[in-house]
């Protein structure tokens, strides 16, 4: 009995110690506190990356201290401002790579949602309802944009992001129409891969790593 009590006390001490060592993440020297977004400079011009903002939100929520959660919530409005919200735009629901640039690459939405959907699945309960609602709507619009693009099965790096984002995002939103599209595309991509004898882009080491990471998330 004494041994059980001793082991329990040691376990509690270790848990408390690990929690006590958890510190808020540093936002970094390039962080723009005015717009409250990660920033970088190119030729003296400041840019604010949507992908980096989404990944920063994910990292902050993973760390999970009260300060991290507060900072994650404060980044969200800047991130949302990188998304095209004009219903008349052909890029409705897409993300700019940077706040300061137009939509030049249709794939940006995939990278932003890959971070956001995972973060929401794992940590949505940490966020206020207002922030949660903003991110859910952003994800919904992003998934509609992805559906409209409907990238080719040959584009391995992006098609598996489409599949993963759509399956998980549809489940997160409770939207069977979206999630079923993801399931169907997963099956059709697997059938395409069987017919072609291998995945495209697998002669690229970086894309191989990306593909494995994305599929393992699904």
The predicted structure's pLDDT at residue 208: 81
- 58 CB-contact burial (10 Å; exposed 0-12 / middle 13-18 / buried 19+): buried
The predicted structure's pLDDT at residue 197: 82
Nearest to 215 by CA among 192, 203, 197, 199: 199
Looking at the DSSP assignment, which residues form a beta bridge with residue 83? 95
Give the residue ranges of DSSP H helices in the chain: 2-20, 50-63, 66-80, 108-123, 129-149, 156-173, 176-196, 205-217
pLDDT tens per residue, range 142-175: 999 999 999 999 999 899 999 999 999 999 999 9
- Separation of alpha carbons 63 and 172, rounded Å: 21
Distances (CA, A) of 82 to 75, 109, 154: 12, 10, 28
22: left (phi over 0), alpha (psi -120 to 50) or beta: beta
- 63 CB-contact burial (10 Å; exposed 0-12 / middle 13-18 / buried 19+): middle
The predicted structure's pLDDT at residue 18: 43
Below-70 pLDDT ranges, the chain: 1-21, 201-203
The predicted structure's pLDDT at residue 204: 72
For the record, the structure tokens of 97 come out as 């790579």
For the record, the structure tokens of 17 come out as 């110690």
């Amino acid at each position: 009995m004494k041994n059980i009590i001793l082991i329990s006390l040691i376990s509690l001490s270790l848990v408390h110690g690990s929690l006590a060592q958890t510190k808020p993440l540093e936002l970094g020297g390039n962080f723009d506190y005015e717009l409250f977004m990660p920033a970088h400079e190119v030729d003296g011009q400041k840019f604010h990356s949507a992908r980096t903002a989404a990944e920063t939100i994910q990292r902050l929520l993973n760390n999970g201290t009260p300060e991290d959660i507060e900072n994650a919530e404060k980044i969200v409005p800047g991130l949302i401002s990188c998304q095209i919200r004009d219903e008349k735009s052909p890029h409705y629901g897409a993300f700019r790579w940077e706040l300061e640039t137009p939509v030049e690459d249709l794939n940006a939405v995939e990278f932003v949602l890959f971070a956001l959907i995972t973060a929401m699945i794992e940590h949505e309960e940490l966020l206020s309802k207002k922030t949660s609602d903003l991110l859910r709507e952003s994800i919904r619009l992003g998934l509609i944009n992805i559906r409209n693009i409907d990238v080719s099965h040959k584009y391995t790096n992006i098609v598996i992001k489409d599949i993963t984002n759509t399956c998980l995002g549809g489940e997160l939103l409770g939207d069977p129409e979206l999630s079923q599209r993801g399931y169907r595309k997963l099956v059709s991509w697997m059938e395409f891969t069987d017919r072609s004898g291998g995945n495209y882009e697998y002669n690229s080491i970086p894309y191989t790593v990306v593909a494995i990471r994305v599929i393992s998330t699904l």
